[in-house]
Structure 1
Amino acid sequence: MNLKYDSDEQIIYVMKADGSKEVLEAEFPSEPVTSPDKTKAVYIAPLEWERLGSLYLYDLLTGENKELIKPDDKHHIPKKVIWLDNHNLAVIIGFGYGTVAIGGNVFVYNLDTEQKKPLTEYDQRTQVTNIVFKDGVLELEGIRYIDDTFNEFERFEEKIKLSHADGEVQIAT
């Protein structure tokens, strides 16, 4: 099986071996991101302004779709996800409502343990808005609000070197 994202319609389709397709997600999903070994894909749905979405894992071999991270009781939601390896995801999680909550903090979610742990612990004034992983380094882009009314901000970039120990991803020392 394979997933196809229709950006115009904002729909994820499951493409079957016989050439047919069926709708997997039609409620404003993000584009699916495939694991390095091409056996799984992750996506967020809905990924829409002031909608509380969840992070899902779709198994491309079995067709199982599983909710990994849902909105918490403080309305924090996943906003972006990337693969670090076949077992770990980096996820931006932040407040789901308002015009100033465009990013959040970065967490590592381990698929084997089903646990998430923070990589960043910024206050609400500092928010990561994009993440890229290459050569063992997680590159962060974000904003820092510089006024009391959260109207003015400056952009920032940060790099975090990661390492693996016993299947867990952590900040390299």
Structure 2
Amino acid sequence: MTRKAYLKRIISTSLIISLILTLTACSSNKKGAEPSTNSSSNNQQQSAPAPSKNQTSKTEDNSSKTTSTTNTTNTETVDPTVPKFNKTETTSSPKFNTPWKVYGTVQASIEGKGDTASEEGIGKIIVKDGSGKMYSYEIADNKKQNSPKYVQWWDDKNLLVVIGMGYGTVSQGGSLYNLNIATGKVSLAYKAEDKQNVTAVTKVKSKDGNYDLYIKMLVYEDDNFTKSHYEEFTIPYSKLTMLK
């Protein structure tokens, strides 16, 4: 082989090797680029748009409304003239209130009208159950500005409540209602007529072994409400339909 032919063969071989290396490099770059494209696509699919401020605000508002509805409930009445109560769980100790009335493991007090519930203003009933939880009962839709003025337990479920005008010195009592703290039902026990004010109640044992309802009532004798006297009477258990 001549020197010229030998050099020609070397050059041809070099060109072939260079071409093979170039093709191999291009193929490797193409394969390496494909995962990057898929990764970018996956990132786009997995990324979720952040909620707008309006959406966040609506979510917070709905959460707040749910909490409020859960904490406050209304008592039930059949007679539209019988007041309803808004029942709300509370952790605050009652202030400016009457001494606790205790029956077994339950207790009741009137908050906001002083230790005898005779001060002017709208009070509310505070009930503490056997587990120690406290609930406030406030008259709902109270356009007449009535207030609880006296409470007495009949048993550990039924609380007798005197409700009358929250303002004025003439009204020292009112009509008598029964609040069932287990069912939330409120019913009329005794309707006080004009110039009458139920001021106190208690249960007394009768000869037949049942308990009757004793009522003490202030009765005004004149239109100027300057003369008055007290009357006392008993309602037999058989007529206490609000407890049945």
Question: In which range does the TM-score fall when normalised by the shorter chain?
Answer: 0.7 to 0.9
Q: Is the 8 A contact 2:163 2:174 kept in 1?
A: yes
Q: Is the 8 A contact 1:76 1:93 kept in 2?
A: yes
Q: CA RMSD in A?
A: 2.4
Structure 1 CA distance for aligned equivalents of residues 239 and 158 of structure 2: 10
Q: For residue 124 of structure 2, what is the aligned residue in structure 1? A: 54
The structure where strand makes up a greater share of residues is 1
Superposed CA deviations along residues 44-76 of structure 1, whole A, max 9, x for unmatched, are 101231121001111242x32111243722111
Opposite residue 97 of structure 2, the aligned amino acid is: P
Which entry has the higher C-alpha Rg, 1 or 2? 2
Deviation at 1:123, TM superposition (A): 2.3
Q: For residue 235 of structure 2, what is the aligned residue in structure 1? A: 160
What 5-or-longer segments of structure 2 have no aligned partner? 1-90, 206-210
Q: For residue 135 of structure 2, what is the aligned residue in structure 1? A: 66
Q: For residue 128 of structure 1, what is the aligned residue in structure 2? A: 198
Aligned residues: 144
- Say whether 1:105 aligns with 2:175: yes
Structure 1 residues 78 and 50: alpha-carbon distance in aligned structure 2, compared to 1, 3 A threshold: same
Q: For residue 148 of structure 1, what is the aligned residue in structure 2? A: 223
Alignment of 1:26-41 (within 5 A): 27-35=95-103, 38-41=104-107
3-state SS of the aligned residue for 2:243? strand
3-state SS of the aligned residue for 2:179? strand
Structure 2 CA distance for aligned equivalents of residues 56 and 141 of structure 1: 23
Opposite residue 99 of structure 2, the aligned amino acid is: E
Structure 1 CA distance for aligned equivalents of residues 197 and 150 of structure 2: 12
What 5-or-longer segments of structure 1 have no aligned partner? 1-21
Deviation at 1:24, TM superposition (A): 1.8
The structure where helix makes up a greater share of residues is 2
- Any runs of at least 4 consecutive aligned residues in structure 1 with deviations exceeding 3 A, and if so which? none
- Say whether 1:95 aligns with 2:169: no
Between the two proteins, what is the percent identity of the paired residues?
Answer: 26
Structure 2 CA distance for aligned equivalents of residues 33 and 164 of structure 1: 25
Q: Is the 8 A contact 1:126 1:143 kept in 2?
A: yes
